[in-house]
Structure 1
Amino acid sequence: MLRDRFMSDLKEAMKGGDKPRLGTIRLIQAALKDKDIEARGAGKGPISDDEILQLLQKMVKQRQESAKMYGEGGRPELAEQENAEIAVISAYLPKQMDEAEAKTAIAAVIAETGATGVKDMGKVMGELKARYAGQMDFGKASPLVKQLLG
């Protein structure tokens, strides 16, 4: 489970004195705790590994946007810090599909679901998210689905 890995990596970073990694793992754990509290308020249990992967993807995306803005704003040291956090968080994510692999996966899901047009896009995207959470960037997958359905 990812939670166990976070704890063991946290201890390892503490023992090794790796402060940037330690800080990033603590940020991940804080975000996890927030999600767990939110889920508990909705009457659910702790979030699943798939939801953790979605959370990590969101954290990476936020840091990419911040790094870009810092770079444009003339703050390279802050952009560098964001990129270092991205590297730590990305280590917990499965390998991302490239565009060719994504197209193959999308075509297979379209064939399996019997989708015929753009009206079936929600069904296809739902199935993709269920199967490829953490492996596919759904922001980039959406136009590919439209292209293959249209």
Structure 2
Amino acid sequence: MSDLKAAINESVKAAMRAGEKTRLGTLRLITAAIKQKEVDDRRELTDADVLAILDKMVKQRRESESQYSQANREDLAVVERAEMAIIAEFLPQPLSDKEIDTLVQEAITTTGAQSVKDMGKVMGILKPQVQGRADMSQVSARVKAQLN
């Protein structure tokens, strides 16, 4: 079992003992997503796989929160923000803008990318490095900006 998955399972047990219903509900959503992926792929997930799932869950909630805020449904937006905070506890420290720029520049140098046509190569190197630590759409925009 991956360390991250074990930490999530321990948090589920702690939330059950403490009677934290909201936290427990979110943690159960995480474990359900992990189990679903394991069943679909028929294999034990690694920490990188679990990070990808958590990253996707945060992204979904960020989009939902934005839509709820635009529709003046602050009650629903608050729920999404709370779930994002709980999921984010299991993600590594986010990268700063400077760190992202450095990684992008290193990836461009490593691949020898010259234009936007080479963006796939650069993103292929960057994705494992920034997964769960930065919003991939922002990273993609920075790569595109540096390649232009």
1:136 to 1:71, Cα distance in 2 relative to 1, 3 A: closer
Number of the residue aligned with 2:30:
28
Q: What amino acid sits opposite 1:83 in the alignment?
A: R
Task: Please report the RMSD computed on the Cα atoms of aligned residues, expressed in angstroms.
Answer: 1.3
Cross-structure match for 1:140: 138
Task: State the shift of 1:131 in Å.
Answer: 2.2
Cα distance in 1, alignment partners of residues 4 and 39 from structure 2: 18
Task: Tell me the secondary structure at the aligned position of residue 135 of structure 1.
Answer: coil
Structure 2 counterpart of 1:19: 21
Residue 46 (structure 2) aligns with: 48
| SS of equivalent residue, structure 1 residue 30 | helix
Number of aligned positions between the proteins? 146
TM-score by length of 2: 0.92
Aligned amino acid, residue 124 of structure 2: G
Shift of 1:130: 2.2
User: Deviation of residue 59 (structure 1)?
Assistant: 0.7
Paired residues of 2:115 and 2:147 also in contact (CA < 8 A): yes
> Partners in 1 of 2:136 and 2:62 — Cα distance?
16
TM-score (norm 1): 0.91
User: Is 2:1 the counterpart of 1:2?
Assistant: no
Partners of 2:128 and 2:84 in 1: how far apart? 24
1:1-150 pair list within 5 angstroms: 1-40=3-42, 45-150=43-148
Q: Distance in 2 between matches of 1:62 and 1:36?
A: 20
1:50, 1:134 within 8 Å by CA — same for their partners in 2? no
Please give the alpha-carbon distance, in whole angstroms, between the structure 2 residues aligned to 1:99 and 1:131.
14
- Structure 1 unpaired stretches of 5+: none
CA distance in structure 2 between the partners assigned to 1:89 and 1:2 by the alignment = 12
Amino acid at match of 1:9: S
| Identity among equivalent pairs (%) | 43
Once the 2 structures are TM-superposed, how far is the Cα of residue 98 of structure 1 from its aligned partner? Answer: 2.4
CA distance in 1, matches of 2:116, 2:68: 38
Query: What are the ranges of 5 or more consecutive residues in structure 2 without an aligned counterpart?
Result: none
